[in-house]
Structure 1
Amino acid sequence: MNTAERLPNAETTDLARDSATELSKLLARIPEADRARVQLDGTELILPRDALALLRDILTEMAQGNAVTILPRHAELTTQEAANLLNVSRPHLIKLLEEGRIPFTRTGTHRRIRYQDLTAYKTERDRKSQDATEELVKQAQELDMGY
């Protein structure tokens, strides 16, 4: 199993939590800084602020016990990778593609989905789900169902 797929252990989770907290404080304290100097084993690096913000987000995920994978927004995914990210079966994903609900391209006989298109679909799906939940809660309150 490569390191991107391995869940962080308790020690790593604690270290990530502490680091994310300190990095968040630093970024908030110096909002105008567009870069930072980092020293690693005697070597000094200059990192752009966007990289530091991404590092903070990665550390936050690790602190919650999550494995993290980084993909460029323009990356193209296989149908299995896309299905995994949506937490659906591959046949269900293919159905969504064929219905035109998620754009895709073909490379020979293989379908490819842009990460950006997949996240747009997921965001919209999650929004609709949240709206439906809120509507159900509203109806339950109107019917005095104890919610």
Structure 2
Amino acid sequence: MSTGNTAAAAGRRVLIDADGVVTELNDKAFEAAMNAAMGVMGRHRMITTGQAAKLMNCSPRTVARILDSGRLPFTRSGGTGRRMVDVVDIMEYQRQERARMRESLDAMRRAAREITMNDDEMAAYVAQFD
């Protein structure tokens, strides 16, 4: 684990304290932090699609499209009829999406090798997707 950075690279698992100090976490530490956070919040914390969008760093419309596609479960609030999403489901969806993207990138890398790109050409090609 490293500490003291003031910015986090995309795809990294980090904690950011109140002073903006970033601490990078290994997989074990990240899972422990997530378990602790879920324990504090309760195992099932329902949030709105707007809150989900902030958590997922995307637009509320993108969240709506994901819900409409059935890739992320939701319930409707009894009083308002608003769609509510479980934080645990969001975390699992994001984990699955990262795995899917890694698999796609690996397939692109294999395809680039199969068409015998030289190292410089392959690096430029793969860099588009990293």
Fold-level similarity (TM above 0.5): yes
Q: Can you list the C-alpha shifts for 1:5-37, whole angstroms capped at 9, x where unaligned? A: 98524xxx39x79xx9xxx9xxxxxxxxxxxxx
Stretches of 4+ aligned residues off by more than 3 angstroms: 70-73
% identity of equivalent residues: 25
Whichever residue aligns with residue 86 of structure 1, its letter is M
Whichever residue aligns with residue 75 of structure 2, its letter is T
Q: Which of 106, 130, 137 is equivalent to 2:76?
A: 106
Q: Is 1:144 aligned to residue 90 of structure 2?
A: no
Whichever residue aligns with residue 105 of structure 1, its letter is T
Whichever residue aligns with residue 109 of structure 1, its letter is G
Number of residue-to-residue matches in the alignment: 94
- Once residues 63 and 19 of structure 2 are traced to their aligned partners in structure 1, the CA distance between those partners, rounded to angstroms, is 29
Q: Which residue of 1 aligns with 2:12?
A: none
- Once residues 89 and 137 of structure 1 are traced to their aligned partners in structure 2, the CA distance between those partners, rounded to angstroms, is 30
Q: Compared with structure 1, are the counterparts of its residues 109 and 138 closer, same or farther at alpha carbon in structure 2 (3 Å cutoff)?
A: same
Q: Compared with structure 1, are the counterparts of its residues 132 and 97 closer, same or farther at alpha carbon in structure 2 (3 Å cutoff)?
A: same
Q: Is 1:8 aligned to residue 8 of structure 2?
A: no
Aligned partner of residue 127 in structure 1, secondary structure: helix
TM-score normalised to structure 1 length: 0.52
- Once residues 112 and 133 of structure 1 are traced to their aligned partners in structure 2, the CA distance between those partners, rounded to angstroms, is 32
Q: Can you list the C-alpha shifts for 1:79-117, whole angstroms capped at 9, x where unaligned? A: 111112222210111121122211111112211100111
Q: Which of 60, 74, 79 is equivalent to 2:49?
A: 79
Whichever residue aligns with residue 132 of structure 1, its letter is S
Whichever residue aligns with residue 8 of structure 1, its letter is D
| 1:1-147 paired onto structure 2 within 5 Å | 8-9=19-20, 13=21, 54=33, 71-107=41-77, 108-145=80-117, 146=119, 147=122
Q: Which has the higher contact order (CA 8 A, sep 6+)?
A: 1
Aligned partner of residue 101 in structure 1, secondary structure: coil
Q: Can you list the C-alpha shifts for 1:55-76, whole angstroms capped at 9, x where unaligned? A: xx99xxxxxxxxxxx7444111
